[in-house]
Structure 1
Amino acid sequence: MENSEKTEVVLLACGSFNPVTNMHLRLFELAKDYMNATGKFRVIKGIISPVGDAYKKKGLISAHHRVIMAELATKNSRWVEVDTWESLQKEWIETVKVLRYHQEKLEAGSCDRQQDSPVLERPGQKRKWVEQRQDYSQKKPLEPRKGVPKVMLLCGADFLESFGVPNLWKSEDIAQIVEEYGLVCITRAGNDAQKFIYESDVLWKHQNNIHLVDEWITNDISATKIRRALRRGQSIRYLVPDLVQEYIEKYNLYSPESEERNVGVILAPLQRNAAEANSNNFSDDITLVGRERTMENEESY
């Protein structure tokens, strides 16, 4: 199949990145290899989008530091970059809205797209985009026009299973993510992602838009374990990029004190969605995982 017949894809990874790890970067490489090998897609770009401080996750350090570490980690990448829009929002933004933002950004910039680059905004154009498109969250996603890349959500299997945590996600958001955008999910030992999809009517309905990628070279690196090692004064070399390690050490970012940040604060999505719990029956058709386990492991990748 010629490149012109393939769907161009932009992989978007949302999460805490607290801190960014080598495994976060491997996600992009694994997903790119898999999607390109299908013969139907051509991955042209990867985006890391750190969540904002308003997410209120326990131990979540400032977005300012998390963004800088992600930028250091991708400094030498030719195709993965960091986007700061989500991290700069005063309120927590649902993942589906972040996907919508990036898809509409691609749509708006398609006229300016250069043949050799999928980056759509010209220098100085980003602020204008944000000012003009503040109503993006109220609109339904549009089917990408021909020639406009498709944004897909890149995640790990723990992220997929978090769909089953009560009040963590809105049912309509989950349906929209898998139907309108699609998932590229990296699986690993201990995660039965296919079974999870089978036990959900909504995920099963859109299973063709969920791409499961086996990680054969297993790696158990997680941001949680890295923070634990740092609190105990243990080395994290080769677990994170060298520049990230140097930055962490320079600013002494992770400590017992930093891990207590947001203790006792309800996670933003749980707080926002709790009011709709009685009318939200989506999670009933999913095999629920333990909330504490999922919230602990959601940043493993």
Structure 2
Amino acid sequence: MSRLLSCLWMCKNEEDTELHPLSPHELNDKSHIKVKGGVRKQGGNDKQECAPLDKILKNMKVVHTMPEFDELYVLVASGKYSPPHRAHIDMMENAKLHLECQTNIRGKVIGGFFSPYHDDFLASMPTDQSLKGEHRITMCKQITKDSDWLDVDVWECSQPQPPRIIDVMRHLLFHIVGAVDRFVNKIKIVFVCGSDFMFQEDFCEFADRNMSIVVVKRESYFEGVETYINKLNQRHIDIHYMKHIQTSNISSSQVRELLGNGEITDFYDKRDSMIALVPLTVCDYFIKHADDLVPRQIKNPL
């Protein structure tokens, strides 16, 4: 409980005059993106990878032909994705369903992005067991290629240094606003995360900046999370809590543990078990790239 109270205090008292609510209005001047070590202006020396907007633009055409919506949502989920698994997909699909089924507001999800963490950020963790960014990005692209709304934003993973998640969202909004000619003021970026993320510093920053957040319950996190969310709701913070997702107990570490230190022949034997945790494309990717992926797991045992 002390951890919960500490995070509530951080959210209440944190002040940062350089940050504002995330909305299209704040990007009218092409905005500045704040990163660790200072403020970096968009268009500087950092890599300005453009998020793929094809699916969003296609869905916007549908919006033109339908009754007017109050808000148009773009979902963002930043994470390790080492590897991406079924719970990641279900988390986004359920968040979409939840937002579109609200009774107090007419909303439409027009897009969603997986944003893999930066390699340097993962390497800084005490127990780094993650796959390299190139593999994580490829697998994320494979699980979204057949979706009509989900895609992958590689900006976070491709920067010279790890950006803050709030900057990932600002960068994405910057490109969406630049590409959409109508309904700009209705576009809303929504961050989707597991309840474990609620006790990280970045979450407190969201909570104090009028960000929209969808939190998915993780079985391994204590009951105090609901008390925390109720406190945030009392402060009129736009936070949604989803308790019931069948695959929420799946984790990337389960997949890596299943693979263990097996040889390539073992992968074929474990294929059926893996498919219960990850999409078929991810399973086959592991088999195809076993020589690159498995040694890293042996080097960093669970």
Please indicate, yes or no, whether the TM-score normalized by the shorter chain is above 0.5: yes
8 Å contact 1:30–1:215 — kept in the other structure? no
Distance 1:219 1:96, change over 3 A: closer
TM-score scaled by length of structure 2: 0.65
CA distance in 1, matches of 2:129, 2:259: 13
Quote the residue 1:181 is aligned against: 211
Change (3 A) 1:205 1:62: same
Q: How far 1:90 sits from its partner (Å)? A: 1.8
Q: Counterpart of 2:92? A: 28
Taking the TM superposition and a 5 Å limit, the aligned residue runs for 1:1-301 are 3-39=67-103, 40=105, 41-55=107-121, 56=123, 57=125, 58-111=128-181, 145-147=184-186, 149-160=187-198, 162-163=199-200, 169=201, 174-176=204-206, 179-191=209-221, 192=223, 193-198=225-230, 203=232, 206-217=235-246, 219-233=248-262, 234=270, 235-252=273-290, 253-255=292-294, 257-258=296-297, 260=299
Q: Identity of paired residues, percent?
A: 25
Identify the range of structure 1 (53-62 vs 13-22) with the bigger mean alpha-carbon deviation.
53-62
CA offsets, 1:63-115, max 9 Å, x none? 1110000011112111101111111112111111111111222222233x6x9
Please say if residues 74 and 188 of structure 2, whose CA atoms lie closer than 8 Å, have aligned partners that are also in contact. yes
Q: Distance in 1 between matches of 2:208 and 2:295?
A: 38
Q: Deviations over 1:113-152 (max 9, x none)?
A: 6x9xxxxxxxxxxxxxxxxxxxxxxxxxxxxx524x1111
Q: Secondary structure at the match of 1:46?
A: strand
The one-letter amino acid of 2:217's match is T
Query: What is the rounded CA distance, in whole Å, between the counterparts of 1:103 and 1:157 in structure 2?
Result: 24
Q: What's the secondary structure of 1:180's corresponding residue?
A: coil
8 Å contact kept, 1:16–1:50: yes
**Displacement of 1:52:** 1.5
Change (3 A) 1:89 1:216: closer
SS of the residue corresponding to residue 240 of structure 2 reads strand
Q: Is the 8 A contact 1:99 1:151 kept in 2?
A: yes
Residues 96 and 177 of structure 1 are in contact (CA less than 8 Å); yes or no, is this contact kept in structure 2? no
Check whether the contact 2:261–2:297 (CA below 8 A) recurs between aligned residues.
no
Amino acid at match of 2:213: L
Give the conservation status (yes or no) of the 8 Å contact 2:75–2:189. Answer: yes
In structure 2, the partner of 1:140 is: none
Q: Is the 8 A contact 2:90 2:247 kept in 1?
A: no
Q: Could you say if the C-alpha distance between residues 216 and 240 of structure 1 is closer, same or farther in structure 2, counting changes exceeding 3 Å? A: closer
Offset of residue 257 of structure 1: 3.9
Q: Tell me the TM-score normalized by structure 1.
A: 0.65
- 2:228 and 2:147 map into 1 onto residues whose CA distance is 33
The one-letter code sitting in structure 2 at the alignment partner of 1:64 is E
Q: Which runs of 5+ in 2 are unaligned?
A: 1-65, 263-269
Shift of 1:187: 1.5
How many angstroms does 1:219 deviate by?
4.2
Note the aligned Cα RMSD (angstroms).
Answer: 2.6
Distance 1:158 1:42 in 2: 27
Q: Is the 8 A contact 1:178 1:206 kept in 2?
A: no
- The number of equivalent residue pairs is 219
Q: Which fold has the larger relative contact order, with Cα–Cα distance below 8 Å and residues 6 or more apart in sequence? A: 1
Native 8 Å contact 2:87 2:247 kept in 1 = no
Give the whole-Å Cα distance in 1 for the aligned partners of 2:129 and 2:298: 4
Residues 197 and 207 of structure 1 are in contact (CA less than 8 Å); yes or no, is this contact kept in structure 2?
no
Q: Residue 179 of structure 1 aligns to a residue in which SS?
A: coil
| Distance in structure 1 (CA, Å) of the matches to 2:111 and 2:159 | 23
